[in-house]
């Protein structure tokens, strides 16, 4: 569904942010990108979104090459970035102007209900807490029903309890239409709680170090031994990505087996 074909990114100042990244993400799959600072996580997300172009390689969604922002690909940033002059309902419905008003209003009301904000439509963004604003940002991205949704550390500024709650809200929203999700995170527990695969990136230049399958049933028990073991595997690979030379292959099982 989402194909990254030998992506490289070199900035005008000579910085090589990404080097030969290839990855296939299936329809409805949730993938977490995790790695140390400077490994190109956000650059990779910007290339997938069409906000930047690769120096080499290509990104495609359902066989269509992405060379600019595309309605099939939504994005949620670290900050909610709500438009302050629009109400909550107007922010959520911003990308739905092509729909009849009745359908647009129904989608907005359903979205608010699903994230526990029923009745918040007439409010202004300034009246929301940080967690509420980020819930609005997520449903704004999902209400258009994109084929792929990109999330750039959307919960990093929130406290632990709010973060865990929003992770659960995100999974509930995802379950409705099963878009492909690509999540950038620094949080190993978040990657294990949400993702089907954790892609560990190695820096200088950013490249894939390990592709780890997280085969835990949902909803996931964060206190279980299996969850702890999955966290240990991802953390071990993350440590290895910062201390070991780049493996000669990007084969996921070969990489994953080498570090625990």
* Model confidence band, residue 254 (pLDDT cutoffs 50, 70, 90): very low
Q: What is the pLDDT of residue 230?
A: 97
pLDDT at position 248 is: 44
CATH superfamily, with its number, for domain 2-84+148-257: P-loop containing nucleotide triphosphate hydrolases (3.40.50.300)
Q: How many C-beta atoms surround the C-beta of residue 145 within 10 A? A: 14
- Give me the residue spans of the domains in the chain: 2-84+148-257
DSSP letter (8 states) at residue 179 = -
| DSSP β-ladder status, 2-10 and 64-65 | unpaired
With H, G, I as helix, E, B as strand and everything else as coil, classify residue 166: helix
35 token code pair = 């790695």
**pLDDT value, residue 159:** 85
Q: CB–CB of 108/92 below 8 Å?
A: yes
Q: Check if the beta carbon of residue 25 is closer than 8 Å to that of residue 1.
A: yes
For residue 160, give Cα distances in angstroms to 166, 189, 191, 197, 238: 10, 11, 14, 22, 22
Beta-sheet pairing, 180-184 with 148-152: parallel
**What is the pairing mode between strands 180-184 and 30-35?**
parallel
Is pLDDT above 80 for 129? Answer: yes
Among residues 122, 99, 98, the alpha carbon closest in space to that of 109 is found at: 122
Within 10 Å of residue 57's Cβ, how many Cβ atoms? 16
pTM: 0.88
Tens digit of each residue's pLDDT (9 = 90 or more) over 216-235: 999 899 999 999 999 999 99
> Can you give 80-146 as a three-state secondary structure string?
CCCCCCCCHHHHHHHHHCCCCHHHHHHHHHHHHHHCCCCCCCCCCHHHCCHHHHHHHHHHHHHCCCC
The percentage of the chain sitting over the pLDDT mark of 90, rounded to a whole number, equals 75
Confidence (pLDDT) at 246:
53
By residue count, the chain amounts to 260
């Amino acid at each position: 569904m989402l194909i990254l074909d030998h992506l490289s990114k070199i900035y005008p100042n000579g910085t090589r942010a990404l080097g030969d990244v290839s990855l296939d993400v299936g329809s409805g799959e949730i993938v977490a990108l995790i790695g140390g600072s400077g490994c190109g996580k956000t650059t990779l997300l910007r290339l997938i979104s069409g906000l930047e172009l690769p120096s080499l390689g290509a990104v495609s969604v359902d066989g269509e090459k992405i060379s600019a922002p595309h309605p099939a690909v939504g994005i949620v940033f670290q900050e909610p970035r709500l438009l302050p002059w629009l109400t909550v309902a107007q922010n959520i419905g911003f990308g739905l102007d092509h729909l009849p008003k009745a359908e647009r209003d129904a989608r907005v009301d359903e979205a608010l209900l699903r994230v526990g904000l029923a009745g918040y439509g007439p409010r202004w963004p300034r009246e929301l807490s940080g967690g509420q604003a980020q819930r609005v940002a997520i449903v704004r991205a999902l209400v258009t029903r994109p084929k792929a949704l990109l999330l750039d550390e959307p919960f990093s500024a929130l406290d632990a309890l709010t973060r865990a709650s929003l992770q659960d809200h995100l999974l509930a929203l995802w379950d409705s239409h099963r878009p492909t999700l690509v999540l950038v995170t620094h949080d190993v527990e978040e990657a294990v709680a949400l993702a089907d695969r954790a892609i560990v990136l190695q820096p200088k230049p950013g490249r894939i170090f390990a592709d780890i399958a997280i085969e835990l049933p949902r909803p996931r028990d964060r206190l279980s031994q299996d969850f702890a073991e999955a966290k240990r595997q991802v953390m071990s690979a993350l440590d290895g990505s910062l201390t070991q030379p780049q493996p000669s292959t990007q084969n996921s099982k070969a990489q994953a087996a080498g570090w625990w």
